[in-house]
Amino acid sequence: MQATRVNDYKAEDILGLVDQRQVGIEVRNSSIPRWRANAQLGWGAGGLEVSWNLRFLSAVTETCANALVTRCRAAATRPVLPTACTRLSITMPSLVGGRLPPHRH
């Protein structure tokens, strides 16, 4: 498992203009969640492998204050939605010269 917590973020250009992006606030379809975590679990035996991954991003608030045309009247918070992915992989014997290798007991 690995996790990251962002305490603060500030980007300033050469003219001293500060970017609108902040931790926990979505701006321009991009966000910096305060917490981000990934957990992986895997198992394998012979030619069979199974893995499971879980990803967590903390909630962020989306505002429409900087949009030119908007129907948004207030800020909305996107909820925390963990996502999971399961993968199954089976390794088949390789073909040698168009045939399966001989089976050995």
Per-chain mean pLDDT for the chain: 79
Residues 17-24: what's their mean pLDDT? 87
pLDDT the model gives residue 104 = 63
Share of the chain above pLDDT 70, in %: 70
Share of the chain above pLDDT 90, in %: 20
Confidence bin at 64 (pLDDT 50/70/90): low
DSSP-assigned states of every residue in 12-33: B-TT-PBPS-BBTEEBTTB-B-
Beta sheet of 2-5, edge-to-edge order: 2-5, 35-45, 48-57, 83-90
Residues 52-76: what's their mean pLDDT? 70
pLDDT the model gives residue 94 = 62
Please say if the pLDDT value at position 67 is more than 60.
no
**Tokens at 53, concatenated:** 């991954």
